[in-house]
Amino acid sequence: MDEGKCKEASSKYHMIGGHGPNSYSLNSEYQKQLLVSAEDLIKELTHEHLNIDENPSLITHNNTFRIADFGCSIGPNTFFAVENIISAIENKSNQNNSDIPEFQVFFNDLIDNDCNTLFRNIPKSRQYFVAAVPGSFYGQLFPKATLHFAHCSTALHWLSKIPKKVTETSSISWNKGRIHYSGAANEVKKAYSDQYEEDMDVFLSARGKELVNGGLMVLVVLCFPDGVLSSDSSIGVAFDIFGSCLKDMVKIGKISEEKMDSFNLPFYYPWPSEMKALIEANGLFHIEKIAKLASPMRSKPDAQVLTYHLRAVIGGLIEQHFGNGVVEELFTNHLEKLSRSPILVDDKYWKETNYFIYLKRKDG
């Protein structure tokens, strides 16, 4: 059990639990829309690539089919995702005149994810068995060859940790005065991409162990088109704005400069070509499909909605690093600055695209 890595990540990185106005459960419509976009792709590709007859190990001798959602948060999106997968398997079984298996669904997220809320959100009418698996997905979480379908949507941009170099004042990768690699020196970007490369290999190797031969995996990954820089995107601009709000707090003495300089966001957004190369380098999976998904929210960005969304995702990180006293003021300031930002009116900033990646575990 890769406790070192688990522990490092779990102490900080989780969504805001409960059902309040800043909770993830009320601010996850974006992620939901992505799952809707992926729905038909999952059905089609699963019909094509779930080879029950050719590969009997795909369904165990007990006729149990195990699905895991990695980085599930607290619902309801995770239920939508796994129920879509179940429906795809059922369709395939019906068309093959095979018995429909019993489904066991595992919901994974970090130890500090609000599992109590997740459990209360599980649909009462479900037709599957459930379990929650705590721990970082950058490590093996299941016994060897016991999963049949893995799913991980809009979670892989979370790095396992902040690259060490970007917080070391003596390093050429020190990210002084910024909170992300957007707009920073190349060395900072390189430190982030090195960490991403390492994390993706750990992720793919862990899933490679857990999945049976022929097992399937869907990843939904937020990317920038090949060659596009983070700093030219709405995400990069929003992070810059948030960074400037922190600087404002430094100016009025509410937080120290050192405190600000030691804060960085643990997010990385790869290019699709980069993602493809990392999967190929890992070598455990066939790439069956890489496709763009329609981008939710692009039609009508709203400063309040975007700020709520940002707060649901990074509010916990901010509070952990800077304390509770500054959170409200920071996001109020962010909303005000964001409202005057060109990203609300100019389409050219909306370049980030979610990629749907469908993988199949190679035999071995």
Q: Which residues bind a copy of itself (CB under 8 A)?
A: 1, 3, 7, 60-64, 102-104, 106, 111-112, 114-116, 119-120, 122, 124-135, 140-146
Least distance CB 318 / a copy of itself (angstroms): 21
Contact 100, 94 (CB under 8 A): yes
Tokens 């199949």 label which residue?
A: 360
Amino acid letter, 275? M
User: In this complex, which beta carbon is closest to a copy of itself, that of residue 86 or of residue 222?
Assistant: 86
Contact 224, 170 (CB under 8 A): no
User: In this complex, which beta carbon is closest to a copy of itself, that of residue 151 or of residue 180?
Assistant: 151
Q: Is the peptide bond before 76 cis (omega within 30 degrees of 0)?
A: yes
Least distance CB 253 / a copy of itself (angstroms): 36
Least distance CB 70 / a copy of itself (angstroms): 13
Between the CA of residue 224 and those of 145, 315, 361, what are the distances in Å? 33, 24, 26
Least distance CB 149 / a copy of itself (angstroms): 15
Tokens 């749907």 label which residue?
A: 356
User: In this complex, which beta carbon is closest to a copy of itself, that of residue 145 or of residue 284?
Assistant: 145
Contact 34, 154 (CB under 8 A): yes
CB atoms within 10 A of CB 164: 11
Least distance CB 291 / a copy of itself (angstroms): 32
User: In this complex, which beta carbon is closest to a copy of itself, that of residue 114 or of residue 199?
Assistant: 114
Rounded-to-integer distance, Cα 77 and Cα 33, Å: 9
User: In this complex, which beta carbon is closest to a copy of itself, that of residue 135 or of residue 266?
Assistant: 135
CA angle 122/125/131 to nearest 5° reads: 40
Rounded-to-integer distance, Cα 182 and Cα 102, Å: 46
Rounded-to-integer distance, Cα 163 and Cα 296, Å: 30
Least distance CB 207 / a copy of itself (angstroms): 14
Least distance CB 176 / a copy of itself (angstroms): 35
Rounded-to-integer distance, Cα 44 and Cα 53, Å: 17
Least distance CB 212 / a copy of itself (angstroms): 8
User: In this complex, which beta carbon is closest to a copy of itself, that of residue 68 or of residue 235?
Assistant: 68
User: In this complex, which beta carbon is closest to a copy of itself, that of residue 126 or of residue 176?
Assistant: 126
CA angle 341/346/348 to nearest 5° reads: 120
| Cross-strand partners of 354 | 222
User: For the packed helices 29-49 and 77-95, what is the interaxial angle rounded to 10 degrees?
Assistant: 20
97 in helix, strand or coil?
coil
User: In this complex, which beta carbon is closest to a copy of itself, that of residue 68 or of residue 255?
Assistant: 68
User: In this complex, which beta carbon is closest to a copy of itself, that of residue 129 or of residue 332?
Assistant: 129
Contact 53, 96 (CB under 8 A): yes
Least distance CB 321 / a copy of itself (angstroms): 21
